[in-house]
Amino acid sequence: MRHLLPCFVAGLMPVSLAAQSTIGVQEPVVLPVISPGEADHATLAINDQGDVLVVWHSQTKVAGVPCRQVEGVLLPYQGGLQWEVPAGSGVLLLGDPALALVDTVDTCTKPDVVSVGTNFMVTWPRGQAVGSGPDRLEVVMVEVLPGGIASVLAPSPGEGYVADSNFEKGSGGGMPDLARVGANTGALDRALIAYGHESFASGGGEFEFDLRLVHVDFSAGSPVFDGPHDLVTAVPVDDFPNGGPGGGKLVPDIVEHKNKRYVVAYESYFRAGHQGAVTKEGWMNVMNFQFQTGSGITHLDDARYNAFDPSHRQRRPNLATSLVDGDDGSVSLSWMEFPDGGVGDVNSWHAELNFSGGITIQDLAYPNKPGRDDIHPTVLHADGLRLCFASSEESGSYRMRSWVPGVTSELFELPLMGTDPWRAATDLLDLGTGLPQSRLVPLSYEAVEPVSGVKRIYLILYLV
């Protein structure tokens, strides 16, 4: 495998662009928002023509009730490695909690986005801001019109089409993830959504989830749904026996693979005694499958892994692959391992999956360090390139770092704007030449804005 060193490791310094309307590569910017509350859980996608859509949820209030709303910003590509940054009036309100579609006050959380050609698809769960009850999974299409104008295809402003109306996000948060369908055949405006439905809660810290799948087709305008289908049922994702970090559960990540196949990774964690487990155990699960509208799911292979300690929880998988990679269709996988009770380091894991004769895994040896937490790894995968971004916590502060397996043995700290950058999200537009500086890589992250002291979403683009 030939690895190429990204251009950003040269240590070029960022430039603050608060007063500018365009950015270039390696020029980070804090994105405008609608809500004055904190913004987090950002993710992004880059489409076939270089436009970037970033989405996140923000804290807000409706009638005095705290809740969250889903916002987004389209940065149209202007040519010449320049992207337009809209003013605050250009921020999209995608999921509006004031619509009261499931309760007197809704909450819209944890969105995901994928490029489906020149357009984008965005999904999120909508639930009750107070209490619990039936949730719904919503989805919209963000079309990119001539002139870089974002047009949201939705049933009404701030509301998504309902992909699943019989859905319980429960303690897991739903955590939907999108994968484009048909990129290798040129199909447009189609995607799969993988997400977690809480099917059991013991009241004593034991939980089970169904991993669901919905196919969404916007190619004719209004969406056509196939599903929900159950990929896996009754997956245990229990609370830590001795306490520890909360957050999402199951947290599936899905990618389209070569040969019209899909790969999904998801968490499981068993307390002793749950479904016959002898002791507490955590797993990262991987499934390779085919999906065909009208005929459903064909399971191909399954595998599961622990990183360093089988009693720890294996959390937040991230997958990446490339349809122009010169190999036989490998997939990069990262996740982080949390110790029970929060005692000990949080470590990251970066590996490569292969699918010849079943699923095999190759550890790429992420350079964890004793006394340092390495969290929220996210990976890139291209012809001749494997790359990982993650946040490192030392002495109470966070730094964003990158790592290129096989090239560097240490992490490189990225010079970024904001305080305590973490929870990176990234995507890649591969121009297909296999040469250095032939891939556009947008990177979003959340950080505290120094002036306001409020958490905001930042974006930087690299050419690698």
Same domain, 46 and 181: no
Query: What distance lies between CA 376 and its chain's CA centroid?
Result: 10
**What pairs with residue 267 in β-bridges?**
284
Note the pLDDT tens digit of each residue in 241-254.
887 667 899 999 99
| Cα within 13 Å of Cα(94), Cβ side | 38
Parallel/antiparallel/unpaired status of strands 92-95 and 455-463: unpaired
Note the pLDDT tens digit of each residue in 407-459.
888 899 999 999 999 999 999 998 766 667 889 999 999 999 998 999 999 99
Same domain, 126 and 241: no
Note the pLDDT tens digit of each residue in 88-124.
999 999 999 999 999 999 999 999 999 999 999 999 9
Same domain, 227 and 349: yes
| The pLDDT value given to residue 2 | 26
Nearest 10 degrees: CA dihedral of 15, 19, 24, 29?
A: 70
Find the mean pLDDT for residues 227-237. 97
Nearest 10 degrees: CA dihedral of 19, 87, 442, 20?
A: -20
User: Which residue among 363, 380, 398 closes a domain?
Assistant: 363
Distance CA 123, CA 21 (A): 28
| The pLDDT value given to residue 308 | 86
* Amino acid, res. 280: K
**Cα dist from 435 to 19, 45, 253, whole Å:** 34, 22, 29
pLDDT band at 328 (very low <50, low <70, confident <90, very high): low
Question: Which residue, chain included where needed, has tokens 């439905």?
Answer: 197
Question: Which residue, chain included where needed, has tokens 């930087």?
Answer: 460
Ramachandran region of residue 304, left (φ > 0), alpha (ψ -120 to 50) or beta?
beta
| The pLDDT value given to residue 186 | 82
Q: Is the dihedral of CA 417, 418, 424, 426 positive or negative?
A: negative
- Residue from 341, 354, 271, 348 nearest 315 by CA: 348
The domain that contains 106 carries what CATH number? 2.120.10.10
User: Which residue among 123, 148, 164 closes a domain?
Assistant: 164
Mean pLDDT of the chain: 91
pLDDT band at 341 (very low <50, low <70, confident <90, very high): confident
* Higher-scoring residue by pLDDT: 181, 259: 181
pLDDT band at 5 (very low <50, low <70, confident <90, very high): very low
| The pLDDT value given to residue 7 | 37
Q: Is the pTM of this model over 0.75?
A: yes
pLDDT band at 13 (very low <50, low <70, confident <90, very high): very low
Note the pLDDT tens digit of each residue in 23-39.
999 999 999 999 999 99
- DSSP-assigned letter for residue 34: S
Structure token digits, residue 456? 């905001």
Distance CA 128, CA 66 (A): 11
Quote the number of domains for the chain: 2
Same domain, 158 and 176: no
- DSSP-assigned letter for residue 344: S
Lowest mean pLDDT of 71-75, 258-262, 310-314, name the range: 258-262
- Residue from 240, 98, 228 nearest 168 by CA: 228
**What pairs with residue 289 in β-bridges?**
262, 299
Same domain, 314 and 193: yes
**Cα dist from 363 to 157, 229, 305, 351, whole Å:** 46, 32, 11, 4
* Amino acid, res. 113: V
106: containing domain? 31-164
| The pLDDT value given to residue 19 | 39
Is 60 exceeded by the pLDDT of residue 10? no
Structure token digits, residue 271? 């307390």
Within a domain: 4: no
pLDDT band at 374 (very low <50, low <70, confident <90, very high): very high
Is 50 exceeded by the pLDDT of residue 400? yes
Is 80 exceeded by the pLDDT of residue 65? yes
pLDDT band at 15 (very low <50, low <70, confident <90, very high): very low
Quickly list H helices, 309-382: none
Same domain, 150 and 223: no
| The pLDDT value given to residue 357 | 86
**What pairs with residue 116 in β-bridges?**
none
Peptide bond just before 421 cis, omega within 30 deg: no
Same domain, 352 and 316: yes
Spatial contact of 366 and 403, defined as CB atoms under 8 Å apart? yes
Note the pLDDT tens digit of each residue in 127-159.
999 987 789 999 999 999 999 999 999 999 999
- In angstroms, the first-to-last Cα distance of the chain is 17
Same domain, 223 and 128: no
Distance CA 134, CA 75 (A): 35
Same domain, 160 and 172: no
Is 80 exceeded by the pLDDT of residue 342? no
Same domain, 134 and 213: no
